[in-house]
Homo-oligomer: A and B are copies of this chain.
Amino acid sequence: MKANATSASGGTEHEVLAAVLRVRAGSLQVLLWQRALAPQVGRWALPGGRLGEQEDVDSSMRRQLAEKVDVARLSHLEQLSVFSEPRRIPHRRVLATAFLGLVPTDQDPAVPDDTAWHPADSLPPMAFDHGAITRRARERLRAKLSYTNLGFALAPPAFTISHLRELYSAALGYQVSATNMQRVLSRRGLLVPTGESAPSGRVGGRPAALFRFRERELRITDPFAVLRPPRQP
């Protein structure tokens, strides 16, 4: 019953690649390393590598990221999709499962010498299809910020509303109103006041209350925008 689809041999090489994003200094950044060898010397690439024999893609991705950034600092990791264009890598056939990874803003993991954070909105010359993968990751993040609690993955354990506003603004790429963001997240029960306050700024001003996310696991908070099920009377 198996269709015999040409290949006499074993199969196809498979790699995992992650666009790891964080917000820093008001800008959404992605973790890239610079290729030292051909092909595409000098271009910037996403971290990743070959899938091992005994791993699923998720474990493999976490293992490979551990070499670039302490994996314990990853606050979120999810699959984007498979990139499979036959000529995506010259002279070799390699499939890639692409991921979106997130690191909270308070973490500053040590990274290898060939590795650096780059602004996600003005990418350097990218290797292969890694630019496309990065843009997909950015879009996925932007979409999920609006209908899930994914903000927790960008934010530190405790934060002020205006700090959170900066994170959302940088990630979304446009100005977000602190007032309305707080209302939306509070109505959905995502924010909990810690009771603490941040010290007030250098020039005075009311001290800001500190909040935390109630949960630090992905949850869909706005499941049915329209066409909701009827309510039972």
Residue A82 CB within 8 A of the other chain: yes
Copy tally for this chain in the complex stands at 2
Q: Within A2-35, which residues are at the interface with B (CB < 8 Å)?
A: 2-7, 9-14, 35
| Chain B nearest Cβ from A135, distance in angstroms | 16
Is A110 engaged at the interface, CB distance under 8 Å to the other chain? no
Residues of B contacting A81 with CB < 8 Å? 79, 81
Closest-by-CB residue of B relative to A35 is B1
Residue A122 lies at the interface, judged by CB distance under 8 Å to chain B: no
Residue A64 at the chain B interface, CB threshold 8 Å: yes
Residues of B near A225 (CB, < 8 A) are 146-147, 222, 225
Do A6 and B84 touch (CB < 8 A)? no
Which residue of B52, B93, B222 contacts A6 across the interface (Cβ within 8 Å)?
B52
Name 17 extra pairs, CB < 8 A, besides A5-B51, A84-B97, A174-B230: A1-B37, A3-B64, A4-B50, A6-B54, A9-B9, A10-B10, A11-B50, A53-B93, A54-B86, A56-B86, A79-B81, A79-B82, A82-B82, A146-B227, A172-B229, A222-B225, A225-B225
